[in-house]
Amino acid sequence: MSELTTIARPYAKAAFDLAVEKGELDQWSEMLAFAAEVARNETIADFLSGMNSAEKLTEIFVSVCGEQLNEQGQNLIKVMAENGRLAALPDVSIQFLALRRELEKLVDVEVLSAIALSQAQIDAIASKLEARLERKVKLNCSVDETLVAGVVIRAGDLIIDNSVSGRVRRLSDALQS
């Protein structure tokens, strides 16, 4: 899959630059998400991997997407079809969203806790993370009873393990060394 990631990068960057220039980040996010789902469809994926001309691929793909694609979105599909890259559309969508998050200084944060967090606790975690990361955060909270108590926070490469099970693991490691 890393090959598709490399292939998708210039398409995502071009779409992102155009979306920023035109002020259409929301519209492009929706278009690319929809096109990515179409490309993931088993029937369409089989069609994309077949021996079809770029014109035929473009025609079918655009007709399936319908009004979900504006003229620039259709042009992107056409260029990707001409280069045999339509299978990379899911990666284009992912990279586009990553570029958008970077522009908007937004980071997704996974919060695992032993019990359901109150809204006050969620707000406190969000405000402290925003100050530490210097970004807006979007918390995705879930419960993992194996933690015993405490929380584990994951934001990209940053992991904050303040759970009892994490502390016991670190204590065990320290005692064994």
**Is the pLDDT reported for residue 110 higher than 60?**
yes
| pLDDT-wise least confident of 7-16, 49-58, 82-91 | 49-58
Query: How confident is the model over 76-87, as pLDDT tens digits?
Result: 888 888 888 888
**Is the pLDDT reported for residue 112 higher than 50?**
yes
Closest CA to 72 of 39, 24, 36, 37: 24
- At 62 the pLDDT is 80
Closest CA to 7 of 98, 76, 88: 88
> For all residues of the chain together, what is the average pLDDT?
85
Q: What is the CATH number of domain 2-102?
A: 1.10.520.20
What are the backbone dihedrals phi and psi of residue 137, each rounded to the nearest 5 degrees, phi first? Answer: -115, 145
| Domain map (residue ranges) of the chain | 2-102, 105-176
- At 157 the pLDDT is 82
Query: How confident is the model over 122-153, as pLDDT tens digits?
Result: 999 999 988 988 888 888 899 988 887 888 99
**Is the pLDDT reported for residue 2 higher than 70?**
no
54-to-45, 58, 61, 84, 172 alpha-carbon distances in Å? 14, 6, 10, 7, 60
Query: How confident is the model over 157-168, as pLDDT tens digits?
Result: 888 888 888 888
Q: Give CA–CA dist 42/121, Å, rounded.
A: 42
Q: Is the pTM of this model over 0.95?
A: no
**Is the pLDDT reported for residue 4 higher than 80?**
no
- At 88 the pLDDT is 85
Neighbours of 118 (CB within 10 A): 9
Residue labelled with tokens 């259709």: 74
- At 127 the pLDDT is 92
**Is the pLDDT reported for residue 1 higher than 50?**
no
Ramachandran assignment for 122, one of left (phi > 0), alpha (psi -120 to 50 degrees), beta (any other): alpha
Closest CA to 77 of 64, 61, 99: 61
Q: Give CA–CA dist 110/161, Å, rounded.
A: 12
- At 105 the pLDDT is 84
Whether 109 contacts 159, CB under 8 Å: no
